[in-house]
Chains A and B, each alone.
Chain A
Amino acid sequence: SYELTQPPSVSVSPGQTASITCSGDELGDKYACWYQQKSGQSPVLVIYHGTKRPSGIPERFSGSTSGNTATLTISGTQAMDEADYYCQAWDSSTGVFGGGTKLTVL
């Protein structure tokens, strides 16, 4: 079965840039997307089609893909960005999530 791999945790200082990676076979061809989930809340879509940002999502969130890796980048990270982040893609009509990355802003 298809798998997506994320680092369990990433730490960043306020104002700095955070990068969260997601790797999977031929992920660059699968329209990876990213969800943010704050404690006790439902997930929110922050990046779709690998690089596109829904309206209402701050410009500091960006996505990129290259080969087998998708990356979520948060520039000028703020305390409010502390959350779990999940990458997601489709493989043969099956939805697959990465294991999630806990972003800590310290």
Chain B
Amino acid sequence: EVQLVESGGGLVQPGGSLRLSCAASGFIFSSYWMSWVRQAPGKGLEWVANMKQDGSEKYYVDSVKGRFTISRDNAKNSLYLQMNSLRAEDTAVYYCARASSSSWWNWGQGTLVTVSS
């Protein structure tokens, strides 16, 4: 059974940093693109970042470029999102998702990030 478990969310002040982690199991992690998708409270889904299997390609939504960094450790079956210079508008539930055939087939339960003073 595929499992994706996010962690690392919490309350952070504007301008602060946070690192999210996603522990994957039940599939060959190194064979799949992985993504972060977020959802602000009461709002719709927003793709945040993607990373290729070997880390050679990374893509970001414009609003986080230069502030967020996606990374992965295939030996640890883990995906990460380093978030710097956080803003109030980054407040959201952040989901880790496994990609295949241009779709996200599995999602974690999400971790809440709240940016507030």
Chain A residues near B (Cβ < 8 Å): 1, 31, 33, 35, 37, 42-45, 48-49, 54, 84, 86, 88, 90, 93-100
- By beta carbon, the residue of chain A nearest B95 is A42
User: B45–A43 contact, CB under 8 A?
Assistant: yes
Chain B neighbourhood of A1, CB < 8 A = 62
Contact of B104 among A43, A84, A96 (CB under 8 A): A43
17 CB-based A-B contacts, threshold 8 Å: A31-B101, A31-B103, A33-B102, A35-B45, A37-B45, A42-B107, A42-B109, A42-B110, A43-B45, A43-B107, A45-B103, A48-B103, A84-B44, A88-B47, A93-B57, A94-B61, A96-B47
B 62-117 contacts with A by CB, 8 A: 62, 95, 101-105, 107-110
Q: Is the interface of B mostly helix, strand, loop or mixed?
A: strand
A interface majority secondary structure: strand
Q: Are A94 and B45 in contact (CB under 8 A)?
A: no
Q: How many positions in chain B have a CB within 8 Å of any CB in the partner chain?
A: 21
Shortest distance from the beta carbon of A69 to any chain B beta carbon, whole Å: 18
A94/B47 in contact, CB under 8 A: yes
* Bound: A95/B109 CA distance, A: 20
